[in-house]
């Protein structure tokens, strides 16, 4: 409903001022992800990402900004970010990006992705004692330990979150279940084998795992639809 109201307001603004809206600031929660851009865009791109995937961090640096500026901003293309969870660190990061209102997601996502080289190095050199804490059967406690050891608390506090906010998001068992189930369902439904992977209007793009390949696929799709 919020995305619909934003779209309606944007349309009214265009008619009143003659200026096209910037659709990159329109963000709405989906069943287990976030949609950035015009919810009525004819071309819908979906990203399937893992926070512990180095290629996904490369795409966040080089692909996401170009995708938004060149395609999403105009309203012709929307992009949904969804999570393919590989391990408890992935889940912890994903739950933190979902923390708070939908309009906080894009910068939460960027903050974690763009600092991956720092916290992933800490994870790689973790001690057995740390890994034991990360395997705590109390999953909320395990996620708090991961967030503390990888400095996610400091990162999120820099985004304006309080410790109590972060703890509440990490303890959200309903979100945990939703993200895990969606990751499993998406993997089976699409046959996902790696990240990042992409779809256009629900169709998986074979052998497309970086920005140059995705840009080529988007351009080809837009050209084919324009020709019809």
Q: In this structure, what is the dihedral angle of CA atoms 46, 206, 195, 44, given to the nearest 10 degrees?
A: -10
CA angle centred on 28, ends 218 and 5, rounded to 5°: 105
User: pLDDT per residue over 3-15, tens digit each?
Assistant: 444 444 444 444 4
- Cα 125 from chain centre: 26
pLDDT for the residue 158? 97
User: Is the per-residue pLDDT at 118 higher than 80?
Assistant: yes
SS3 195: coil
What percentage of residues in the chain have a pLDDT greater than 70?
Answer: 91
Q: Is the peptide bond before 196 cis (omega within 30 degrees of 0)?
A: yes
Q: What is the rounded distance in angstroms from the CA atom of residue 225 to the CA atom of residue 218?
A: 11
- The tokens for 140 are 């909320």
User: Is the per-residue pLDDT at 17 higher than 80?
Assistant: no
Cβ atoms of 59 and 211 closer than 8 Å: yes
Across 18-32, 142-156, 171-185, least confident range:
18-32
Summarize the confidence of residues 213-226 as an average pLDDT: 95
User: Is the per-residue pLDDT at 84 higher than 80?
Assistant: yes
Spell out the residues 6+ positions from residue 121 whose beta carbon is closer than 8 angstroms to its own. none
- The tokens for 217 are 């696929």
User: pLDDT per residue over 25-81, tens digit each?
Assistant: 999 999 999 999 999 999 999 999 999 999 999 999 999 999 999 999 999 999 999
Q: What is the rounded distance in angstroms from the CA atom of residue 219 to the CA atom of residue 225?
A: 10
pLDDT for the residue 15? 40
Q: In 10 A of CB 102, how many CB atoms? A: 17
> Strands across the sheet with 197-200, in order?
27-29, 34-36, 77-83, 43-49, 197-200, 203-204
Whole-angstrom CA distances from 57 to 5, 145, 196 are 32, 23, 9
**Residue-by-residue DSSP string for 48-115:** EE-TT-HHHHHHHHHTHHHHIIIIITTTSEEEEEEE---SHHHHHHHHHHTSS-GGGHHHHHHHHHHT
Q: Enter the pTM of the model.
A: 0.89
pLDDT for the residue 7? 45
| Average pLDDT value over all residues in the chain | 92
Q: pLDDT band at 226, cuts 50/70/90?
A: confident
What percentage of residues in the chain have a pLDDT greater than 90?
Answer: 89
């Amino acid at each position: 409903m919020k995305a619909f109201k934003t779209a309606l307001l944007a349309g009214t603004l265009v008619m009143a001022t003659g200026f096209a809206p910037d659709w990159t600031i329109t963000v709405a929660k989906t069943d287990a992800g976030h949609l950035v851009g015009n919810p009525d865009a004819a071309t819908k791109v979906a990203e399937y990402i893992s926070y512990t995937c180095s290629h996904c961090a490369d795409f966040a640096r080089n692909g996401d900004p170009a995708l938004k500026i060149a395609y999403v901003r105009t309203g012709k293309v929307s992009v949904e970010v969804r999570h393919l969870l590989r391990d408890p660190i992935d889940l912890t990061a994903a739950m933190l990006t979902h923390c708070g209102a939908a309009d906080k997601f894009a910068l939460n996502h960027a903050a974690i992705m763009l600092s991956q080289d720092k916290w992933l190095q800490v994870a790689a050199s973790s001690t057995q004692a740390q890994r034991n804490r990360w395997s705590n059967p109390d999953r909320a406690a395990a996620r708090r330990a991961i967030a503390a050891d990888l400095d996610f608390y400091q990162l999120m506090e820099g985004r304006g979150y309080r410790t109590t906010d972060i703890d509440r998001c990490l303890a959200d068992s309903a979100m945990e279940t939703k993200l895990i189930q969606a990751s499993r369902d998406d993997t089976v439904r699409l046959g996902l084998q790696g990240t990042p992977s992409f779809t256009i209007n629900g169709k998986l793009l074979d052998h497309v795992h970086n920005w140059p390949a995705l840009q080529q696929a988007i351009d080809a799709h837009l050209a084919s639809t324009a020709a019809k």
